[in-house]
Structure formats: C-alpha cells, structure tokens
Amino acid sequence: MSPLPVTTAHLRVLRQSFQDQCLEGEVQAGGFAWQFCWAFDRGELTVEPSLGRALIQDALQRFLVKADYHLEPGGDYTFTVRARF
C-alpha cells in the first residue's frame, strides 16, 4: 500500500483584530498562493483568489480552528494537507 500524498502549507499571519473579530494572512502550498480572512467569531473563512481554493480551504479551516488561540501577527506556521498539489 502506497503512502497518502501530502503537501506542506506555509501560513503567515498578517493581521489580527479582536475588534473586527478576524485574522488575515497568506498561505502557500504546492506553487499556489492565497490570501485569507478568518472571521473567528462566525467560523467563516474567505480565501482568494479562487484558483486552487478547493485544494486548501478545508485544510486551512481545520488548521485555523485547531490553532486559533496560538496564532500571532507576524508568525509563520506550517501544516500538512493530505493531497498533492
């Protein structure tokens, strides 16, 4: 049985606002790059541009929910996506 494909995603938090209840940043994986806005009070994630969004959106949302309180502006983070881009 072959191992599952994986891609490492690199995330940078650019802005965090408790007043606006959002976390903004950028994520890169497999040659793609996206900007995101995580409205943590509503659990809503916006990812732009749309090219390749389906590849990262679910994994990014799971990572943000899990690591939300540990993320800081200017911080660089990585997580694994169980797919090869």
Enclosing domain of residue 44: 7-81
Give me the amino acid identity at 59.
Answer: A
pLDDT tens-digit series, residues 42-80: 989 999 999 999 999 999 999 999 998 899 999 999 999
**Number of structural domains, the chain?**
1
| Residue 2 counted as domain residue | no
pLDDT at 3: 81
pTM above 0.85, yes or no: yes
More confident residue, 52 or 12: 12
Burial 61-74 (b: 16+ CB within 10 A, else e): bebbeeeeeebeee
pLDDT at 63: 97
pLDDT at 84: 82
| Residue 41 counted as domain residue | yes
